[in-house]
């Protein structure tokens, strides 16, 4: 005999929903807080609520891994696609390997890719995903210059700079009206929290464009200084000449026009690159001298065969 379905299932379903709501509150207090603001009819100051929401988000490594997985291929495609040479890709991987092996998060699924893009840029996604534009290879005159670029990007992923920047006003203001509205919709429907991480597939979709903008155009000043500072630690561990730690920054000052609008993860006017060079060189003077590794780093010769060094910027 069949049970009467509504009698049998409704109370337990209600209990389940109450449990889920409680879980959401525990898992994501910021979402609950924004939910409260919304319920009180405070749609008026959505931007402030979003700042609060992002600030209060407790991003876990699982979220960083989710971002890396969800965005890496898409961002590579958006930046110009993989450079179509297995030999060059392999050479870059070989070159980057000792640098990546300095990571204090060796369990991350580290990857590096050469992107078919002439801009002098490189970027990193949370969860250990690195990308170097071929424009960097054309202007990096020595292994130390390319190593500095990789060490800088490694630092962004290593020290979770993306999730730090996502809590800034700058990030939420880049969300745009549609992004804000979508985020608020998700929050008010209670679909923001998830177990084991705070980023759902839906939320990853909403955040994709501003995160792309963020990783390819640079972080806040302090995070950039932080990433520059890491060049020195990596050089010490890999055995590269500390005296050359700031050389790629100097190259960028030479090849990029002074009035450039180009702001990248590596080059920006705030902080100015001159200031960045000064800071790196000051830190080098304080750093312990290291033993240099013998021989040229693996992959370098192959990369330079494909990308002979240019001294002047070509449009």
Produce one character per residue of 19-36: b if its CB has 16 or more CB atoms within 10 Å, e if not: eeeeebbebbebbbbbbe
Nearer to Zn ion, 219 or 300 (CB): 219
Residue nearest to Zn ion (CB): 265
Q: Does 268 bind Zn ion (CB under 5 A)?
A: no
User: Which 211-250 positions form the footprint of Zn ion (CB under 5 A)?
Assistant: 224, 227
Q: Does 265 bind Zn ion (CB under 5 A)?
A: yes
Torsion of CA 223, 224, 226, 230, to 10 degrees: 140
Total chain residues near Zn ion (CB under 5 A) = 3
Nearer to Zn ion, 194 or 226 (CB): 226
Least distance in Å: CB of 151 to Zn ion? Answer: 11
Alpha-carbon gap, residue 182 to 44, rounded angstroms: 15
Least distance in Å: CB of 219 to Zn ion? Answer: 6
Least distance in Å: CB of 62 to Zn ion? Answer: 24
Residue 194 phi, psi dihedral angles, 5° rounding? -150, 155
Least distance in Å: CB of 122 to Zn ion? Answer: 8
Alpha-carbon gap, residue 51 to 55, rounded angstroms: 6
Q: How far is CA 204 from CA 136, 139, 198, 201, 220, in A?
A: 29, 34, 10, 5, 22
Q: Does 264 bind Zn ion (CB under 5 A)?
A: no
Going by their DSSP bridges, the two strands 111-115 and 122-125 should be labelled as unpaired
Q: What character string, x for contact with Zn ion (CB under 5 A) and - otherwise, covers 59-98?
A: ----------------------------------------
List residues near Zn ion by CB under 5 A: 224, 227, 265
């Amino acid at each position: 005999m069949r049970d009467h379905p509504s009698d049998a299932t409704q109370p337990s379903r209600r209990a389940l929903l109450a449990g889920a709501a409680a879980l959401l509150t525990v898992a994501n207090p910021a979402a609950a807080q924004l939910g409260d603001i919304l319920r009180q009819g405070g749609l008026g100051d959505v931007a402030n609520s979003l700042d609060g929401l992002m600030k209060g988000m407790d991003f876990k490594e699982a979220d960083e891994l989710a971002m890396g997985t969800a965005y890496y291929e898409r961002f590579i495609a958006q930046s110009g696609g993989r450079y179509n040479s297995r030999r060059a890709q392999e050479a870059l991987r070989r070159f980057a390997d000792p640098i990546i092996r300095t990571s204090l998060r060796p369990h991350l699924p580290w990857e590096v890719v050469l992107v078919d893009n002439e801009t002098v840029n490189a970027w990193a996604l949370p969860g250990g995903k690195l990308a170097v534009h071929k424009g960097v290879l054309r202007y990096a005159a020595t292994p130390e210059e390319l190593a500095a670029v990789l060490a800088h990007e490694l630092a962004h992923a290593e020290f979770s700079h993306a999730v730090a920047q996502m809590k800034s006003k700058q990030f939420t203001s880049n969300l745009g009206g549609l992004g804000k509205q979508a985020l608020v919709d998700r929050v008010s429907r209670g679909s923001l929290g998830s177990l084991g991480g705070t980023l759902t597939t839906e939320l990853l979709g909403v955040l994709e464009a501003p995160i792309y903008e963020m990783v390819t155009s640079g972080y806040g000043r302090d995070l950039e200084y932080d990433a520059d500072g890491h060049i020195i630690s990596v050089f010490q561990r890999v055995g590269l000449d500390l005296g050359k730690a700031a050389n790629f920054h100097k190259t960028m000052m030479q090849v990029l026009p002074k009035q450039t609008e180009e702001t990248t993860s590596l080059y920006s006017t705030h902080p100015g690159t001159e200031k960045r060079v000064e800071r790196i060189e000051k830190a080098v003077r304080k750093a312990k001298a290291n033993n240099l590794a013998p021989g040229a780093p693996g992959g370098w010769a192959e990369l330079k065969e494909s990308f002979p060094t240019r001294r002047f910027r070509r449009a």
